[in-house]
């Protein structure tokens, strides 16, 4: 199984994904690690990505997901997956790929990003992420205004893990 933890930058995808993977004794992977260097350079300079930038990244992610499923490797994948078309491309098997949407207000997430210094995503790109975000209909939706431990427990309970 692959659990795709999605949301805008600063919603806690990596933190929650790592904690969830650790609690399940699964592998963790961050979709940011699959970006080509050109995408990272754009984002680090405050330039939002467009669909053409994301296509090679999405293709690489889909290959990884297919390989994990083929080999029976359980993985928690942190991935923005902001648009419905991206999620449909990545999650073609809803029995083996589960979506978890980390949902929070712009204000809460902005405050988190202001405090984060080690990441290439700039705070001025947050608005473009919210504009691109299409709330998923077929995902477990988790409000992020609670502790990471509580969020992980809610995910495990709701997905019966």
Burial class (CB in 10 A: 0-12, 13-18, 19+), 51: exposed
| Tens digits of residue pLDDT in 94-106 | 889 999 999 999 9
The alpha carbon dihedral of 14, 151, 62, 45 has a sign of: negative
The tokens for 87 are: 């999620």
Give the residue extent of every domain in the chain: 2-158
pLDDT for the residue 116 = 67
pLDDT for the residue 123 = 59
Which range is least confidently modeled, 6-10, 85-89, 109-113, 143-147? 109-113
The alpha carbon dihedral of 109, 113, 115, 118 has a sign of: positive
Q: How far apart are CA 103 and CA 93, in angstroms?
A: 23
Helix (H) / strand (E) element for 88: namely helix 84-90
Helix (H, G, I), strand (E, B) or coil at 44: helix
| Tens digits of residue pLDDT in 15-73 | 999 999 999 999 999 998 999 888 888 877 878 788 899 899 999 999 999 999 999 99
| Tens digits of residue pLDDT in 5-20 | 999 988 999 999 999 9
2-158 sits in which CATH class?
alpha beta
Inform me whether the pLDDT recorded for 124 exceeds 80.
Answer: no
pLDDT for the residue 44 = 78
């Amino acid at each position: 199984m692959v659990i795709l933890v999605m949301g805008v930058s600063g919603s806690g995808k990596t933190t929650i994904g790592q904690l969830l993977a650790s609690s399940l004794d699964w592998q963790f992977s961050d979709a940011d690690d699959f970006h080509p260097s050109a995408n990272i350079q754009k984002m680090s300079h405050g330039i939002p990505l467009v669909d053409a930038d994301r296509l090679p990244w999405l293709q690489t992610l889909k290959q990884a997901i297919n390989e994990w499923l083929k080999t029976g490797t359980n993985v928690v994948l942190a991935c923005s997956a902001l648009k419905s078309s991206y999620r449909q491309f990545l999650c073609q098997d809803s029995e083996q790929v589960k979506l978890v949407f980390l949902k929070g207000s712009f204000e809460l997430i902005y405050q988190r990003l202001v405090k984060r210094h080690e990441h290439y995503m700039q705070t001025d790109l947050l608005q473009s992420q919210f504009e691109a975000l299409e709330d998923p209909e077929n995902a477990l939706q988790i409000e992020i205004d609670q502790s990471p431990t509580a969020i992980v427990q809610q995910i495990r309970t709701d997905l019966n893990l």
